[in-house]
Structure 1
Amino acid sequence: MFIKIDFSSDVPIYTQLRQQIIEGIAAGILKEGESLPSVRQMAEDIGINLHTVNKAYAILRDDNFILMDRRIGAVINSKQNMELNDYESKFEEDIKPIIAEAYCRGMKEEEIIKKIKEIYIKFAEA
């Protein structure tokens, strides 16, 4: 699997795992209906605690990115089921400090917009 954890990062491991699975879905690496490794297997593969994987999977389930089934485990949900009507406010809340930091560090509006567009296109083309 493509998961790479930075153990020296300030970002919690479960957050890194969640973000990388979402990026995998967006990039088309993980497709609708595809099974993720079991909690135990993922923990073993990455070398982390199984409770950390369980937390990441639970958040992904709560956010509609994956479905959990006792018989088949964690499965990538359909993109239609991932859509949330109230996501726009969460998006703004999440991106606001990133844009604020970029602004404080001297990035110009055009540079920020260009970078966002490049990332969006990368996922749209996947």
Structure 2
Amino acid sequence: MFIELDFESEDPIYLQLMRQIIEGIAKKELLPGDALPSVRSLAADIGINLHTVNKAYQQLKQEGFLQIHRQKGVMIHPDGIPKATEAYKMALEKNLRPLIAESICRDLKQEEFSEICERIFDNLMKGGDQL
């Protein structure tokens, strides 16, 4: 999996890193049990602070995406990613709400918004990079 960070983005680096790892899992580029580089190794490879990588890894561990062992290192959770719960669905709705509101303000129609969501969903399910 190739990590590409945008250092000019308003999104924090740790969040960009998290999103790319999650996308790699969604596209099946990263499978349960796959090893990830150590915090130090990944930080050195992409030229960021090791605390930034550690923050991303710890957050992904907390959300059930990663398992971290002192001896085995960091890996995609071998039992797979936890399924969507009601709490997850509520958080998803909370996160989508401002995006939908902004889309309405910008005169984007519901059908257009839905088409964009479907295209992204289909693309990730097929393992693609194109939008």
Q: Same fold (TM over 0.5)?
A: yes
CA contact (8 A) 2:27 2:124 kept: yes
TM-superposed CA distance for 1:124, in Å, is 2.5
The answer to whether structure 1 residue 115 and structure 2 residue 116 are counterparts is: yes
CA–CA distance in structure 1, aligned partners of residues 47 and 53 of structure 2:
10
Say which is worse superposed, 100-109 or 10-19, in terms of deviation: 100-109
Show CA shifts across 1:29-53 (max 9, x none). Answer: 1111101110001101110000000
Aligned-partner residue type, residue 125 of structure 1: K
CA contact (8 A) 2:67 2:78 kept: no
TM alignment of 1:1-126, pairs within 5 A: 1-78=1-78, 80-85=80-85, 86-126=87-127
> Identity across aligned pairs (percent)?
44
TM-superposed CA distance for 1:79, in Å, is 6.9
TM-superposed CA distance for 1:64, in Å, is 0.2
The two structures have a TM-score, normalised by structure 1, of: 0.93
Structure 1 moving runs of 4+ over 6 Å? none
TM-superposed CA distance for 1:80, in Å, is 4.6
TM-superposed CA distance for 1:82, in Å, is 2.2
Aligned-partner residue type, residue 21 of structure 1: I
Q: Structure 2 vs 1, CA of residues 47 and 113 (structure 1 numbering), >3 Å: closer, same or farther?
A: same
Q: Structure 2 vs 1, CA of residues 79 and 96 (structure 1 numbering), >3 Å: closer, same or farther?
A: farther
Q: Extract unaligned runs of 5+ from structure 2.
A: none
Q: Structure 2 vs 1, CA of residues 18 and 8 (structure 1 numbering), >3 Å: closer, same or farther?
A: same
The two structures have a TM-score, normalised by structure 2, of: 0.89
Q: Structure 2 vs 1, CA of residues 104 and 4 (structure 1 numbering), >3 Å: closer, same or farther?
A: same
TM-superposed CA distance for 1:72, in Å, is 1.3
CA–CA distance in structure 2, aligned partners of residues 79 and 117 of structure 1:
28
TM-superposed CA distance for 1:115, in Å, is 0.8
